[in-house]
Copies of this chain bind each other. A is one copy, B any other.
Amino acid sequence: MTKTSFYPPQRTLMGPGPSDISPQVLQALSRPTIGHLDPLFIGMMDELKQLLQYAFQTQNPFTIAVSAPGSAGMEACFVNLVEPGDKVIVCRNGVFGDRMRENVERCGGIAVMVDNAWGEPVDPELVEQALEAHPDAVIVAFVHAETSTGALSDAEVIARLAREHGCLTIVDAVTSLGGVPLLVDEWQLDAVYSGSQKCLSCVPGLSPLTFSERAVTKIQSRKTPVQSWFLDQSLVLGYWSGEGKRSYHHTAPVNSLYALHEALVILYNEGLENAWQRHRDMHNELREGLEQLGIAFVVEQPYRLPQLNAVYIPDGVDDAAVRKLLLERYNLEIGAGLGALAGKAWRIGLMGYAARSENIALCLRALESVLK
């Protein structure tokens, strides 16, 4: 008996990611594979690096895409920057802050937790208190845009506090990159990772990453080897570096990198400021409609992410049944709640290519019809 191909349906992706992908990006994805050491591919990677620097608003020479999803980008930051015994202040206001703690501990570091409630931003005062209570801390780690709650924290202020206390920063920008302002150089962030499948609207599987000179210096002065060979960025740099011959480290995910290049070309040509504005505009359009349906937001207005709208599930509504109906009747995916918000909230994404009026119209109409 023969096996058959898999034909996915055409969904509208308005969850926490993967987001809707432009047909242009899917086309780029399926272009002919060439070798990962082919001079034309190396040329494409140089351009990709510049495009990533634009998206991150940085001049950091160390700006690459990790050949694995955002979780591996997170781990790349921790395994390269944290040595056994290092004290790291970890801000936790959702799932991903807790994953940072896991990373610190698995590197043999000591995690000092700064907790805020789910749905709240990180409170810079609490960060300052922790820095004062732990003068031996060397890193502050926080999530810029919490994908599990839709809350935006003030990366600029937290990074300034960290610097004033001699700490480097590790910043989760998985959901923020391309959706809200993220100014790596101006805010002097040190190690910042993201994901391909959120506001860049590329396929999942890659993690854009940038390290400041300060971060690179810390890596170069390590006393112990990086515990991961695959994520050891001093080795990876031999492949991504523009100087001289590229050395083989691992086989790059060639086609996914075509897609990321294309997604970043789209972002560049739209312009970052325009993309941020579009996300704000679309958020307002969605917000008005949701409010008319009597649906309330989890996050207070000033800290709300336009690209990720966490909203309370109305009383008496069957969470799973509604999401199933949306998927089956309208081919529309919205996200379930995660962690503390599981069963209590939905997460409606307006990320990248998904931040369009037609998606919002579909979402509002479908929700209205299903909630009746």
A binding-site residues for B, Cβ under 8 Å: 2-11, 13, 15, 17-18, 20-21, 24, 26-41, 44, 47, 51, 67-72, 74-75, 79, 99, 102-103, 105-107, 195, 197, 203-205, 225-230, 248-256, 258, 261-262, 264-265, 268-269, 327, 333, 336, 338
Cα–Cα distance between A43 and B226 once the two chains are bound (Å): 37
A248 closest partner in B (C-beta): B338
Cα–Cα distance between A261 and B4 once the two chains are bound (Å): 9
Question: What chain B residues lie within 8 Å of A203 (beta carbons)?
Answer: 33, 253-256
Question: What chain B residues lie within 8 Å of A264 (beta carbons)?
Answer: 3
Interface of A is mostly: loop
In-complex Cβ contact of A8 among B7, B32, B72 (8 A): B32
Question: What chain B residues lie within 8 Å of A227 (beta carbons)?
Answer: 106-107, 227-228
Question: What chain B residues lie within 8 Å of A254 (beta carbons)?
Answer: 18, 203-205
Cα–Cα distance between A356 and B46 once the two chains are bound (Å): 33
Cα–Cα distance between A27 and B32 once the two chains are bound (Å): 11
Question: What chain B residues lie within 8 Å of A69 (beta carbons)?
Answer: 67-68, 230, 250-253
Given A2-B269, A35-B11: A255 in contact with B29 (beta carbons within 8 A): yes
Q: How far is the CB of A342 from chain B (nearest CB, A)?
A: 10
Given A33-B203, A204-B254, A251-B17: A102 in contact with B229 (beta carbons within 8 A): yes
Q: How far is the CB of A68 from chain B (nearest CB, A)?
A: 4
Cα–Cα distance between A320 and B255 once the two chains are bound (Å): 25
Cα–Cα distance between A153 and B276 once the two chains are bound (Å): 55
A205 touches B204 (CB 8 A): no
A41 closest partner in B (C-beta): B8
Q: How far is the CB of A112 from chain B (nearest CB, A)?
A: 19
